[in-house]
Structure 1
Amino acid sequence: MSPGKSPADVLFDEIVKRAVTSVLKPLGFRKSAMNFHRRHEKVIQVVNLQLSQSSSHDEKIFYVNVGVAFDEICQLANLEILEKPNEYECDFRGTRDRLECLIDNLPKQWSVQADLDVELVERQLKAAMEQLAFEFASLDGVAAYRTHRWFDRFRPKQENAQVLYILGDMDGAFHEVNHLCELFADRKTINQPKWWIDQLGLSKLSHILGTRSP
């Protein structure tokens, strides 16, 4: 056993190696701490393993976070294109979510316990990584994301407005912005289309806003 590591720590490291690294590394992902990154054409894809604060000496509880950062959204929003973003930095560069929100029938959290057989957890996590790799394969830019099933998993979303805008669907982008305003109807300022247009870099929508204002 490694110095300073509990049996649960060792098991967690082994499961990451066998169920996550073994799937992602051959596809070009590079591991840094608990993050895996890959550039895929105009996209940076991120997988993050987040240990829960509820973890203990005998049990490691963790979550799997997924992020996708699009070069085209970074350019639109005048943000630096990061080759190794944290998954939360994909919030304004693309999209992010927990793995169980992207792939069906997965637990909300994963658990490794030193005194229990972890073979089932390993198999489930590896299968989930293989499914995620399949979903990632077609995500090489905003056009691909527009037709991906993840695009409609929850509406409205700010990145959807940006994707539609980049692809030239001004009416669709404006429609998304209006629904964002409705979603935050009780929030001063961000319930106004102009705030979203300015925030997301959707300058060409200002003309539509002017023609449709009361």
Structure 2
Amino acid sequence: MDPAKHIDAVVASGLAPLLKSHGFAKAGRSFHRRHGDRWQVVNVQASSGNSAAQARFTLNLGLYIPEIEVLAGNAPLAGKPKEYECTLRERIGALMPQARDHWWTLAPDSDPALLAPELADAFAAHGLPWLEGYADLAKVAARLAEAPTILAAAAALAAGDREAAARRIEHMKADRPRATAVADAWAAKHLTA
């Protein structure tokens, strides 16, 4: 069995048509959809342990929000973002009812056409609502609230909550004392009246 061909066959029979119908364009094993200056990304990740005996894969989801990235001090991306470059990222398994990492498995005798509907259904039920659920910057900021990072503070500021941004900077300094200088410099630039 060629693991890559089996995975690609499952994606081509179920997920790809569904994503295309929702306006996503395919590039390799990733799919992108643009909303204004924001990007939604779906990436098919094959397991590094795939072999002729077994092929495993999962879905990674991402939202790239340049407004937050720029506020955080990151240069905006010129083209389509990779999933790992996204502002928010999630694996499909965390969104499914069992709320744990989920990998689909193919054996040499597996029929990719039988697994394709399950993959498409999982994305339609869990992945697409997650991607569409973060159209509001306040929801993005809420999702990043616990992270002691500049990105979390930038998300709060982008959502219009200056006080939350300041609290997140203080949280960052308390949780990561070595990052105090960076946190203070960001606050001086963005939070000083």
How much does 1:29 deviate? 0.8
Given that residues 169 and 187 in structure 2 are in contact (C-alpha distance below 8 angstroms), is that contact kept between their aligned partners in structure 1?
no
For residue 212 of structure 1, what is the aligned residue in structure 2? none
Identify which of 63, 83, 96 aligns with 1:68: 63
Q: Residues 102 and 40 of structure 1: is their aligned pair in 2 closer, same or farther, counting only changes over 3 Å?
A: farther
Identify which of 172, 182, 186 aligns with 1:195: 182
For residue 94 of structure 2, what is the aligned residue in structure 1? 101
How much does 1:203 deviate? 1.8
Q: CA RMSD in A?
A: 2.8
TM-score (normalizing by structure 1): 0.73
For residue 80 of structure 1, what is the aligned residue in structure 2? 76
Q: Residues 177 and 99 of structure 1: is their aligned pair in 2 closer, same or farther, counting only changes over 3 Å?
A: farther
Identify which of 14, 19, 22 aligns with 2:17: 22
Structure 2: 5+ residue stretches without partners: none
For residue 104 of structure 2, what is the aligned residue in structure 1? 110
SS at match of 2:79: coil
Identify which of 163, 183, 190 aligns with 1:204: 190
How much does 1:202 deviate? 7.0
Q: Deviations over 1:47-88 (max 9, x none)?
A: 111211110012111232111111212332251234311111
Identify which of 133, 139, 145 aligns with 2:134: 139
CA distance, structure 1, for counterparts of residue 145 and residue 54 of structure 2: 33
How much does 1:11 deviate? 2.6
SS at match of 2:57: strand
Q: Residues 17 and 72 of structure 1: is their aligned pair in 2 closer, same or farther, counting only changes over 3 Å?
A: same
Given that residues 66 and 97 in structure 1 are in contact (C-alpha distance below 8 angstroms), is that contact kept between their aligned partners in structure 2?
yes
Identify which of 149, 156, 176 aligns with 2:147: 156
For residue 161 of structure 2, what is the aligned residue in structure 1? 169
Q: Deviations over 1:138-180 (max 9, x none)?
A: 434xxx04236x9437722533321111233111011122223
SS at match of 2:168: helix
How much does 1:120 deviate? 6.3
How much does 1:7 deviate? 5.0
How much does 1:18 deviate? 2.2
Given that residues 44 and 83 in structure 1 are in contact (C-alpha distance below 8 angstroms), is that contact kept between their aligned partners in structure 2?
no
Size of the alignment, in residue pairs? 189
Check if 1:42 corresponds to 2:37. yes
CA distance, structure 2, for counterparts of residue 183 and residue 120 of structure 1: 48
How much does 1:117 deviate? 5.4
Structure 1: 5+ residue stretches without partners: 1-5, 209-214
